[in-house]
Chains A and B, each alone.
Chain A
Amino acid sequence: MDMTTKTFMYVNRKAPYGTVYALETLEVVLIAAAFEQDVSLAFIDDGVYQIAKGQDTKGIGMKNFSATFKALGDYDITKLYVERESLAERGLTEDDLMPITYEDADDDWAEKPSVQVISRAELAVIMSEQDVTLSF
């Protein structure tokens, strides 16, 4: 197979529970990591709830998969863009998000944040630069 490297952005738009979109999208991201592409994730609209702190699904009988996001760094997925306007529209701030970090191989394995809260306009620019944008 031709192993061209492309930029892939996975756009998460839906809440983590209520529908299966978020869970199955994370399954795509984890499989995709094996293809060694340049991967980023965007969280917009209700998708910002996917990485909210303190998720507890005991009462609804769904699997709480939020911890998987913290493992993304081990898959070399280190760019998680969160749209500031989507947070604000839901009364959330960066402090409401889980701390998600990665160890930077190019900087003596220093622990760095994977989450970058950026504006809608900034995200639009990054999105326009992608080879592949998969929206879920």
Chain B
Amino acid sequence: MKYTILVNEGPYQHQAADTALQFIRAALAKGHEIFRVFFYHDGVNNGSRLSVPPKDDRLIQKAWSELAEQHGIDLVICIAAAQRRGLMDADEAKRQNLDANNIAPGFRISGLGQLIEGAIQSDRTIVFGD
């Protein structure tokens, strides 16, 4: 089955991102396809590469990047939600005349239409949030 995943909560603050990662790994192991993961609300913070959790904790942002690298999963961060929360890729930082960017490898920033298109294209859309 083909899935689109919506992640609505930030890493560490809320378990939604961990649960989404576990669901995706389990779905892939069973041979399902993940069409897209869309990050919205504070979920966009899953795409920051500047997170430094304590050494004995899990690395959530890195887990997403590894998932994208190993399985070619499309990780899309909502641009409007990202702009509010200070998450930038190099192009967007340049466009906004800002001196830094912080997007993690494997993520891309795009519009809300990517969520709707994902839901149209997929057999199931699953929301991980509060």
B113 touches A35 (CB 8 A): yes
Which residues of chain A come closer than 8 Å to B81, judged between CB atoms?
A: 24
Which residues of chain B come closer than 8 Å to A1, judged between CB atoms?
A: 117, 120-121
Give the interface SS of chain A, mostly helix, strand, loop or mixed. Answer: mixed
Whole-angstrom CA separation of A34 from B116 in the bound complex: 10
Instruction: Say whether, besides A8-B119, A136-B8, A28 and B127 are in contact (CB < 8 Å).
Output: no
Interface size class of B (residues with CB under 8 A): 20 to 34
B41 touches A132 (CB 8 A): no
Instruction: Say whether, besides A21-B41, A134-B6, A28 and B121 are in contact (CB < 8 Å).
Output: no
Give the interface SS of chain B, mostly helix, strand, loop or mixed. Answer: helix
Looking across the interface, which residue of chain A has its beta carbon closest to that of B40?
A24
Interface residue? B59 (CB, 8 A): no
| Contact residue among B6, B8, B41, B117 (Cβ-Cβ distance under 8 Å from A35) | B117
- Chain B 94-130: CB-based contact to A (< 8 A → 1; otherwise 0): 0000000000000000011101110111000101011
B30-77 with Cβ < 8 A to chain A: 40-41
Which residues of chain B come closer than 8 Å to A2, judged between CB atoms?
A: 120-121
| Contact residue among A6, A32, A34, A135 (Cβ-Cβ distance under 8 Å from B127) | A135
Interface residue? A67 (CB, 8 A): no
Whole-angstrom CA separation of A135 from B128 in the bound complex: 9
Whole-angstrom CA separation of A21 from B113 in the bound complex: 18
Interface residue? A4 (CB, 8 A): yes
- Chain A 6-42: CB-based contact to B (< 8 A → 1; otherwise 0): 1010000000000011001001100110110100000
A28 touches B119 (CB 8 A): no
B129 touches A35 (CB 8 A): no
Whole-angstrom CA separation of A20 from B121 in the bound complex: 28
Which residues of chain B come closer than 8 Å to A6, judged between CB atoms?
A: 119-120
A88-112 with Cβ < 8 A to chain B: none
Which residues of chain A come closer than 8 Å to B111, judged between CB atoms?
A: 31
Instruction: Say whether, besides A21-B41, A27-B80, A134 and B112 are in contact (CB < 8 Å).
Output: no
A-B CB contact pairs (8 Å), 7 listed: A20-B84, A28-B116, A31-B113, A35-B117, A35-B120, A134-B127, A136-B8
What 10 A-B pairs have minimum CB-CB distances, sorted nearest first? A31-B112, A132-B119, A32-B116, A35-B116, A132-B125, A135-B127, A28-B112, A4-B120, A24-B41, A6-B120
Residues of chain B touching chain A, judged by Cβ–Cβ distance below 8 Å, are: 6, 8, 40-41, 80-81, 84, 111-113, 115-117, 119-121, 125, 127, 129-130
Besides A24-B81, A134-B6, A136-B41, 4 other CB < 8 A contacts?
A24-B41, A132-B119, A134-B119, A135-B127
